[in-house]
Amino acid sequence: MLSGGGVTTMLAGVALAGVVAGLLGALLRRSLPFVSAWAIAGFVFAVACIGVLTLTPAYEVPSVVLAEDRPTSCSLDYGGPSPDGFWIVGGGQRLLNMVVFAPAGALLVLAVGRWRVGRVLAPLGLLGLFGYSVAIEWAQLEVARIDRACDITDMVDNALGALVGFGVGLVLLVVLRPWRGAGRRGVDRTA
């Protein structure tokens, strides 16, 4: 019987996302310089991992949530009761929410930083990450089967993590300069 949840399922989902992202990176490497190809693949991996970690039932045998016991709204208790840690890694829940979204923010900047249109795509992508966090929390509210809770604090922490990652990505953009090598592969950096 498949449980459909727990750490093993999460790790399997992350591994599958890693394989897909690795194949994508290798494919993109044929037409893009190293930094751009692997930043795009890494961004896809980071977004997939966020989905796997937040939408997989927390336990192998999820508890039964009766319809009448299911929450009907998100918790608006900002900074309210959250667990002291996570069953895989120690540390505060709020810090972990930030850490999960930070790589996506950084890789987003590197993924689109090669092109001038990246000046528009990067902020739009950041807004997309904010929206992704809201969508995840909404799904956690609506799908009682995954036995997760919708919480405004998670949305704020996720957005803050994406924003911190975005800032790190801007610094890495200057250091790694993904626009280098445009002439070698015939890719127009102004596209």
Q: Distance from CA of residue 172 to its chain's centroid?
A: 18
Beta bridge partners of 151: 75
pTM of the predicted model as reported, rounded to 2 decimal places: 0.83
Q: Which helix (H) or strand (E) holds 10?
A: helix 6-28
Tell me the residue length of the chain: 191
Angle formed at CA 57 by CA 53 and CA 24, multiple of 5 degrees: 35
CA distance 21 to 144: 30
Q: Is 57 helix (H, G, I), strand (E, B) or coil?
A: coil
In the prediction, which pLDDT does 181 show?
60
CA distance 114 to 178: 5
Q: Where are the domains of the chain?
A: 6-61+88-179
- Packed helices 34-55 and 118-142: angle between N→C axes, nearest 10 degrees: 20
Cβ atoms of 64 and 132 closer than 8 Å: no
Tokens representing residue 100 in the block: 């999960």
In the prediction, which pLDDT does 190 show?
43
In the prediction, which pLDDT does 87 show?
44
In the prediction, which pLDDT does 59 show?
79
Q: What is the pLDDT along the chain (191 residues), one digit of tens a residue?
A: 345 788 899 999 999 999 999 999 999 999 999 999 999 999 999 999 999 999 998 777 656 666 677 777 787 777 665 555 444 444 577 888 899 999 999 999 999 999 999 999 999 999 999 999 999 999 988 887 777 888 888 999 999 999 999 999 999 999 998 877 654 444 444 44
In the prediction, which pLDDT does 144 show?
72
CA distance 62 to 42: 30
